[in-house]
């Protein structure tokens, strides 16, 4: 068996996926330009998994660098995590997002064609469903009604991959639509490290609990939900990582394009997450209600039945696990700084 190339392999989801693949006996090559992660993550992945994966510092859009990787290793599949992902920033810097996210996908597809590598797993997002789709989101609903340039890059890459697979019957493409990944590896060695003020809920909560910020602003308490705050499908990053292992197995046996939601199928409100965090960690999270954040949808969560039926995968970890592991990581990350 050859190696699996993980672009964005030292990032939040890539690093957890690397650990799960290594533990399952797969060989991986990590590629990352370190625009949003640190080289030390590669060493920590090796420490958790008991063997050190090779790490290449390169831009995934750089075809010469990619050719070197495909010459040096027998790459049998690519999992493409690399990309810019901040929704707000994508509205301020759309061209940087289109350039980075689209170019890296195209360069990978071209290099894979050159070397006969036929399996592409793509990190897409639930954001491609958009506000017109009723919840729970199902893979066969129309997509593309995205509310940000970031979301549109995900949708455009999905379409590019579908066209590539339609034109080449030997290609196997798996589009994974992630819901809201949170948590961290239970070792406390790897996790998400947002730079600056966190945009996302869980990193903000852990920073409040650590005393780095005075309180959480809960964006909106007048949504048409059970307690007025927004509902999301939070999934533990280790569960999400294991979904990639299942997707790789699927890609080995199938051709064409297949889409899977990776979520738990269950939604929690912002206030439910705040309460669960306090109960799981013993750390209270002071909060106050603030105005709605533009672009937020009241409620979304996955219909997770297709991944269970076809991939034999489902999320196992609880919201309490997600809170405990996020908190452990926050405490460790603080010690490292």
Catalytic site positions: 150
Pairing status of strand 268-269 against strand 231-232: antiparallel
Lookup: tokens for 263 = 């979520």
Residue 205 and residue 124: Cα distance in Å, rounded? 25
* Peptide linkage before 136 cis (omega within 30 of 0): yes
For position 100 contacting ligand UD1 by CB under 6 A, the verdict is no
Rounded to the nearest whole angstrom, what is the least distance from the CB of residue 307 to ligand UD1 in the complex?
A: 17
Task: Assess 90 for contact with ligand UD1 (CB under 6 A).
Answer: no
Residue with tokens 């010469």, as numbered in its chain:
64
Are 170 and 255 in contact by the 8 Å Cβ rule? The answer is yes
By CB under 6 A, is residue 41 in contact with ligand UD1? no
209 contact, one of ligand NAD, ligand UD1, none, CB 5-8 Å limit per kind: none
Closest distance to ligand NAD from the beta carbon of 262 (Å): 9
Residues that bind ligand NAD (CB under 6 A): 7-8, 10-14, 32-37, 59-61, 81-83, 85, 100, 104, 123, 125, 178, 181
35 binds, among ligand NAD, ligand UD1, none (CB under 5 to 8 A by kind): ligand NAD
Report the interhelical angle of 237-253 vs 12-23 (nearest 10°).
Answer: 60
Sign (positive or negative) of CA dihedral 322, 40, 86, 264: negative
Residue burial 169-192, b: 16+ Cβ < 10 Å; e: rest: eebbbbbbbbbbbbbbbeebbbbb
> In the complex, what is the shortest distance from the CB of residue 330 to ligand UD1, in angstroms, rounded to a whole number?
15
Site string for ligand UD1, 149-168 (x = CB under 6 A): --x-----------------
Let me know: does 298 contact 231? Beta carbons within 8 Å: yes
Among 127, 221, 238, 283, interactor with ligand UD1 by CB under 6 A: 127
H or E element: which one contains 251?
A: helix 237-253
Angle between helices 201-209 and 319-336 (to 10 degrees): 60
Q: Which residue number is nearest to ligand UD1 in terms of Cβ?
A: 230
Is 329 in contact with 184 (CB distance < 8 Å)?
Answer: yes
Restricting to residues 308-327, name those near ligand UD1 by CB under 6 A: none
What is the pattern of x (binds ligand UD1, CB under 6 A) and - over residues 53-82?
Answer: ------------------------------
Question: Any contact of residue 5 with ligand UD1 (CB under 6 A)?
Answer: no
106 CB-contact burial (10 Å; exposed 0-12 / middle 13-18 / buried 19+) = middle
Closest CA to 86 of 147, 150, 129: 150
Among 27, 219, 305, 321, binds ligand UD1 (CB under 6 A): 219
Q: Which does 204 bind (CB under 5 to 8 A by kind): ligand UD1, ligand NAD, none?
A: ligand UD1
Cβ of residue 299: shortest distance to ligand NAD, in angstroms? 17
Confirm or reject binding of residue 180 to ligand UD1 (CB under 6 A): yes
- Do 208 and 214 form a contact (C-beta atoms < 8 A)? yes
Size of the site for ligand UD1 (CB under 6 A): 20
Q: How far is CA 161 from CA 42, 73, 119, 178, in A?
A: 28, 23, 11, 17
Query: Is 53 in contact with 28 (CB distance < 8 Å)?
Result: yes
Q: In the complex, what is the shortest distance from the CB of residue 222 to ligand NAD, in angstroms, rounded to a whole number?
A: 25
Rounded least distance, CB 282 to ligand NAD, Å: 26
Q: How far is the CB of 233 from ligand UD1 (least distance, A)?
A: 9
Residue closer to ligand UD1 by CB (options 63, 200) is: 200
- 328: closest CA among 209, 214, 225, 186? 186
The option from ligand NAD, ligand UD1, none interacting with 37 (CB < 5 to 8 A, set by class) reads ligand NAD
Per CB under 6 A, residues contacting ligand UD1 are 87, 125, 127, 147, 151, 180, 199-201, 204, 216-219, 230, 232, 270, 293, 295-296
């Amino acid at each position: 068996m050859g190696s699996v190339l993980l672009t964005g392999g030292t990032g939040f989801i890539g690093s957890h996926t690397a650990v799960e693949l290594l533990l399952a006996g797969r060989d991986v090559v990590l590629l990352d330009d370190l625009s949003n992660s640190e080289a030390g993550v590669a060493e920590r992945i090796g420490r958790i998994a008991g063997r050190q994966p090779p790490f290449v510092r390169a831009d995934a859009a750089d075809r010469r660098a990619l050719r070197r990787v495909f010459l040096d290793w027998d790459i049998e599949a690519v999992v493409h995590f690399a990309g810019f992902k901040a929704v707000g920033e994508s509205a301020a810097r759309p061209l940087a997002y289109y350039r980075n996210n689209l170019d890296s996908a195209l360069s990978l597809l071209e290099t894979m064609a050159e070397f006969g590598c036929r399996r592409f797993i793509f990190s897409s997002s639930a954001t491609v469903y958009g506000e017109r789709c009723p919840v729970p989101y199902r893979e066969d609903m129309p997509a593309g009604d995205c509310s940000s340039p970031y979301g549109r890059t995900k949708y455009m890459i999905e379409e590019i991959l579908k066209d590539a697979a339609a034109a080449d019957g030997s290609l196997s493409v798996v589009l994974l639509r992630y819901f809201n990944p949170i948590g961290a590896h239970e070792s406390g060695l790897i996790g998400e490290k947002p730079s600056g003020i966190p945009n996302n809920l869980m990193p903000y909560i852990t920073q409040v609990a650590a005393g780095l910020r005075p309180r959480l602003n809960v964006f909106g308490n007048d949504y048409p939900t059970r307690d007025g705050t927004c509902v999301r499908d939070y999934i533990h990053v280790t569960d999400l990582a294991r979904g990639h292992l299942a997707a790789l197995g699927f890609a080995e046996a199938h051709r064409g394009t297949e889409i899977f939601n990776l979520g738990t199928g269950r939604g929690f409100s912002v206030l439910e997450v705040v309460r669960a965090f306090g109960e799981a960690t013993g750390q209270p999270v002071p909060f106050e209600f603030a105005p709605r954040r533009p672009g937020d949808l009241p409620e979304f969560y996955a219909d997770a039945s297709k991944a269970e039926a076809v991939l034999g995968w489902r999320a196992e970890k609880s919201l309490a696990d997600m809170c405990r592991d996020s908190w452990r990581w926050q405490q460790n990350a603080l010690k490292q700084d």
